[in-house]
Structure 1
Amino acid sequence: MGSGSQATEQKFPFPKEVVLEALGEVLPNLGLQATHVDMFIGRIDVSAGMSAFSWGERVTIVVDDLEPGVCVVRIESSLKVGANLPGNHRHHKNFSRIIYALSDYLQLGEKGERKSNRAVLDQQLSRRSEAASRVTSIVWVCLIAGVVSFFWFS
């Protein structure tokens, strides 16, 4: 079985307050709903909805100052329903989506234009992810059909 919880962190060359405000703008655009926000301690609790392979995830984001003008964003993602092998890939997807969207938003605010072609890369990754999800669905259906037919005709 897969792990029900995973964590990662990323350093940003921005003050804690700037990053927290940016997260407030970025998260709704990713389809993530903040359930609790505490700007004083730098913590945001987020809920991600259900998908074909998961009952949803709880995501906790904590932003801490490392030094003046530099902070670290720590993200912990846990499945709402314990260990779920098909839904285990969601942690990495949550981490990547949040970190890249936050980075893009901060860069846009800093320079007034994007430094990379992140939207095109995200679209390509999304297509690959959708194709992989379809293949996984087909494999599960075939596996279930095989098990059912084994017991049905035995």
Structure 2
Amino acid sequence: MAFLDHNGESEFPMSKDKVFEAMLFAIPTIKGLQIESADKLQGRFMVKAGVSLYSWGENIPIQLTEIAENRTKVQITSSPKTGIMFGGAFDMGKNRQNIENILSSTSKILSSENKQKLLQTDIVPFQNNDFHTNPNFTIPNHSSRWYEKTWLTIILCIIFFPVGLYALWKNSSISKGWKIGITVIISLIVLSNLGGNDKIPSKIRNTVEKKEPNPPKVENVNNTQQDVVDATKEEITEKLKAKAKKDWPDDYTTQEFWVNEQINAYEYMLTIEDNSIKAKAQRDWPLDFTTQKFWYNEQIEAQERLK
């Protein structure tokens, strides 16, 4: 296992331009590698390796230096995209393999026989008239497309899987095996969540019912209290009528007057808050509400005068 970056270099008995062209042919033929940018004048490549079983991908800068006539040195560095904190500390030899594959494929291209065969095929994606006539030609950076960013694709698969799956299958640096595996996992998660939706409302409903008891019915309580008051008033009225009939058996006007006065005094006493003076008046004159009212008011006035 290699620790983080891996460096490699080799020398070719060819001019820098020939080595550069050979790499343009060689790198696209290597599985998992993609040229992000190339600068012929400066002799530089930036190559990207996609996600594999052993890593989250690598960045591979390549520098070509013509150290003598028809002699070119190639320096390659392969480093994990994620760094040491996110699984890049050990690459299971992936960085070293990237370098060996690039150097080996370039060496094969530089042999006249293999180069002639490849020039006759359709696997030369960067064969372009502008490139051969313009030494400052730079390969367009196709990795600027948002779905070619592997880290963004992974995040989208986690937080918004419909867009994430689209980016996953459009991304050219992620292998087909990974695409199928991630798609299957997301599908299973979605199906499991859909299957559990019917159970959620009942659980929530049961929890709410347990934690939130029914509030007291204030309106019913008030109605009950009013019924008690009304019943008491009716009962007292009947007692007052009986007493008036007994005291003035043939004097109905006096009976009516006295009963009305008592009822008015009774209702007045109901409006007074409970206190010791009221309690004494009710205790001393239980069925004489006019006397209760008179005595209570006299006591209150005297109390105010004594302050």
Q: Tell whether the structures are fold-level matches, with TM greater than 0.5.
A: yes
2:110 maps to what in 1?
Answer: 106
The alpha-carbon deviation at position 8 of structure 1 amounts to 1.1
Matched residue, 2:16: 16
Distance 1:71 1:2 in 2: 27
TM-score (norm 2): 0.35
Q: Distance in 1 between matches of 2:89 and 2:69?
A: 41
| Cα distance change on mapping 1:111 and 1:41 into 2, 3 Å | closer
**Structure 1 position 47, deviation (Å):** 0.3
- Which position in structure 2 is the counterpart of 1:133? none
Alignment-mate amino acid for residue 39 of structure 1? K
Written as runs of structure 1 = structure 2, the 5 A alignment for 1:57-136 is 57-83=58-84, 84-109=88-113
Tell me if the contact between 2:109 and 2:115 (Cα under 8 Å) persists in the aligned partners: no
| Secondary structure at the counterpart of residue 52 of structure 1 | coil
With over 3 angstroms needed to count, the CA separation of the structure-2 counterparts of 1:85 and 1:111, relative to structure 1, is closer
Structure 1 unpaired stretches of 5+: 114-154
Deviations 1:45-103 (A, max 9, x none): 00011101100000011100010000000001110011324524111101110111111
Could you tell me how far apart the structure 1 residues matched to 2:41 and 2:99 are?
23
Residue 147 of structure 1: aligned partner: none
How many angstroms does 1:108 deviate by?
A: 3.6
Structure number with higher relative contact order (C-alpha < 8 Å, ≥ 6 residues apart):
1
Following TM superposition, by how much is the alpha carbon of 1:36 offset from its aligned partner in structure 2, in angstroms? 1.2
Deviations 1:92-136 (A, max 9, x none): 1011101111111101448969xxxxxxxxxxxxxxxxxxxxxxx
Q: Indicate the structure (1 or 2) with the bigger Cα radius of gyration.
A: 2
Superposed displacement of residue 5, structure 1: 1.1
Match for residue 46 of structure 1? 47
Pick the structure with more helix per residue.
Answer: 2
Structure 1 Cα separation of the partners of residues 67 and 5 of structure 2:
25
Q: Following the alignment from structure 2 to structure 1, what is the Cα–Cα distance between the partners of residues 59 and 18?
A: 23
Asked whether the equivalents of residues 58 and 80 of structure 1 are also in contact (C-alpha less than 8 Å), the reply is yes
Q: Distance in 2 between matches of 1:51 and 1:111?
A: 29
Paired letter, 2:55: S
Give the number of aligned pairs.
113
Q: Distance in 1 between matches of 2:68 and 2:83?
A: 36
The amino acid that maps onto 1:67 is: A
Considering fraction of residues, name the structure with more strand.
Answer: 1
Q: Which runs of 4+ in 1 moved over 3 A?
A: 108-113
**Contact 1:4–1:88 at 8 Å: present in 2 too?**
no
- How much has 1:6 moved relative to structure 2? 1.6
Structure 2: which 5+ residue stretches go unaligned?
A: 118-307
The Cα RMSD (Å) is 2.1
Question: Normalised by the size of structure 1, how large is the TM-score?
Answer: 0.67
1:7 corresponds in structure 2 to 7
